[in-house]
């Protein structure tokens, strides 16, 4: 058995850590690229969303490298994600590869489903080794997400553009290669220290833009035109509520205890949307309502043909809580140049709005 898992941001790092600690034979697909998307789009049924196409492209790249067992998220929620693994398995078999896709449930009992899946692919490794490998993977994820949150703050105000991104890229590589807790701890402290040293404009008051939308495109930069880095280049500080380490903490440990991190956001969305509509549509509406007072604007990332985000997109303009929203559809048919032009125009609008508010404030005082 040679396993592989499609990319979604930095999720490959904890999985690689677990595979190596448990001696599981694995291959990682190459980093997401135009080839990944082209492969996925060529073989996916027309009209499916970009998470399906990107993960299918990754799976084909993995089987080309010798993988025969693919891990993929699935579930029993309202969106069509639950059907994806069976369809992808059939497509890849039709291409002549003898593979199996093991679905990891992300709807309920996630913690046990993932542990059981690891037990199966590790040839029945003892539970204490599985838990220890899982814990080490999570420690890496936490370190990376902490560093990324600092990078989001530095990007818009750094004096030498690109410095924070360079440090972040090196940090990911070093953390991915860390073999034990000591190395991991040192790497985290080292890169946090380097970020602290980055020369920044202390007077700058960057625009604050929230980024919300569907889970996959939020976490996989290639699928969403690397929107956060592009906003950083335009001098905008990005706020994103969804991080995979946070999702893991709540989904695996706190949700089963009745602590739901989304209650606040669902409550905020309630006057406009009374129920879960699948995917992250409910949360997208809630984020707009909840943060209308704290952000200058909101970028809403929606995979083309994604029903939950289409509903959210249509509800957003009618909320009382007003804040400019730019919805960006993510698909292989959308060109990055066009997205960047819209992004620049959006940032321009937010700057003018802020200037007008400042003028008004001066007049009032
Ligand atoms: S939420 Fe939307 S984009 Fe995500 S898997 Fe479901 S349909 Fe596709």
Is it the case that residue 82 has pLDDT exceeding 90?
no
Which has more confidence, 321 or 362?
321
Q: Which of 6, 47, 81 to mutate to test the pocket of ligand 1 (most atoms within 8 A of CB)?
A: 81
Token pair for residue 317?
């303009």
Mean pLDDT for 30-37 is 97
List, in order, residues 6 or more apart from 149 with CB less than 8 Å away. 243
CB-CB contact of 307 with 287 (8 Å): no
Q: Which of 277, 278, 303, 309 to mutate to test the pocket of ligand 1 (most atoms within 8 A of CB)?
A: 303
Q: How far is the CA of 225 from the centre of ligand 1 (A)?
A: 17
pLDDT value of residue 60: 98
CB-CB contact of 181 with 139 (8 Å): yes
Given the CA of residue 50, which atom of ligand 1 is nearest to it? 3
Is it the case that residue 77 has pLDDT exceeding 80?
no
Residue 75's CB: how many other CB atoms inside 10 A? 19
Q: Which residues line ligand 1 (CB under 6 A)?
A: 49, 51, 79-81, 214, 216, 279, 303, 306-308
Q: How far is the CA of 309 from the centre of ligand 1 (A)?
A: 8
Is it the case that residue 343 has pLDDT exceeding 80?
yes
Q: How far is the CA of 308 from the centre of ligand 1 (A)?
A: 7
Which has more confidence, 276 or 252?
276
Q: How far is the CA of 244 from the centre of ligand 1 (A)?
A: 17
pLDDT value of residue 74: 79
> Whose alpha carbon is nearest atom 1 of ligand 1?
279
Q: Which of 85, 308, 331 to mutate to test the pocket of ligand 1 (most atoms within 8 A of CB)?
A: 308
Is it the case that residue 32 has pLDDT exceeding 80?
yes
Mean pLDDT for 287-300 is 96
Q: How far is the CA of 171 from the centre of ligand 1 (A)?
A: 30
> Whose alpha carbon is nearest atom 6 of ligand 1?
79
Per mean pLDDT, which range of 63-77, 227-241, 264-278 is the poorest? 63-77
Position 363 confidence tier, pLDDT thresholds 50, 70, 90: confident
pLDDT value of residue 107: 64
Q: What average pLDDT is seen over the chain?
A: 94
pLDDT value of residue 28: 97
Token pair for residue 141?
């994820």
pLDDT in tens, 206-252: 999 999 999 999 999 999 999 999 999 999 999 999 999 998 888 87
Position 108 confidence tier, pLDDT thresholds 50, 70, 90: low
Token pair for residue 50?
């970009």
Q: What angle do CA 9, 11, 17 make, to 5 degrees?
A: 140
Q: How far is the CA of 282 from the centre of ligand 1 (A)?
A: 13
Mean pLDDT for 51-72 is 97
Integer Cα distance of 299 and 328 in angstroms: 7
Q: How far is the CA of 109 from the centre of ligand 1 (A)?
A: 20
Q: Which of 6, 56, 80, 219 to mutate to test the pocket of ligand 1 (most atoms within 8 A of CB)?
A: 80
């Amino acid at each position: 058995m040679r396993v592989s898992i499609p990319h979604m941001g930095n999720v490959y790092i904890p999985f690689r850590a677990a595979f190596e600690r448990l001696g599981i034979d694995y291959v990682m697909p190459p980093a997401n690229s135009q080839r990944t998307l082209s492969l996925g789009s060529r073989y996916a049924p027309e009209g499916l969303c970009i998470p399906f196409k990107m993960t299918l492209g990754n799976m084909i790249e993995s089987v080309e490298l010798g993988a025969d067992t693919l891990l993929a998220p699935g579930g029993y929620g309202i969106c069509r994600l639950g059907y994806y693994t069976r369809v992808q398995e059939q497509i890849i078999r039709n291409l002549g590869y003898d593979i199996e896709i093991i679905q990891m449930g992300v709807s309920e009992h996630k913690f046990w489903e993932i542990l059981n899946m690891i037990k199966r692919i590790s040839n029945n490794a003892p539970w204490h080794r599985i838990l220890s490998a899982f814990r080490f993977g999570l420690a890496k994820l936490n370190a990376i997400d902490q560093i990324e949150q600092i990078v989001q703050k530095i990007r818009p105000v750094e004096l030498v553009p690109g410095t924070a991104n360079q440090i972040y890229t090196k940090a990911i590589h070093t953390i991915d290669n860390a073999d034990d807790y000591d190395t991991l701890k040192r790497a985290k402290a080292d890169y946090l220290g380097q970020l602290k040293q980055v020369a920044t404009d202390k007077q700058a008051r960057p625009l604050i833009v929230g980024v919300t939308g569907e889970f996959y495109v939020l976490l996989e930069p290639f699928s969403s035109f690397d929107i956060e880095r592009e906003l950083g280049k335009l001098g905008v500080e990005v706020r994103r509520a969804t991080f995979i380490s946070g999702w893991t903490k709540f989904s695996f440990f706190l949700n089963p205890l009745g602590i739901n991190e989304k209650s606040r956001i669902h409550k905020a969305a309630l006057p406009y949307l009374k129920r879960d509509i699948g995917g992250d549509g409910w949360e997208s509406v809630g984020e707009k309502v909840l943060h209308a007072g704290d952000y200058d604007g909101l970028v809403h990332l929606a995979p083309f043909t994604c029903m939950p985000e289409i509903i959210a997109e249509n509800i957003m303009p009618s909320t009382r809580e007003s804040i400019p929203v730019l919805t960006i559809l993510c698909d292989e048919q959308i060109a990055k140049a066009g997205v960047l032009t819209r992004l620049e125009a959006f940032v321009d609008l937010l700057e003018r709005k802020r200037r007008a508010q400042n003028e008004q404030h001066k007049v009032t005082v």
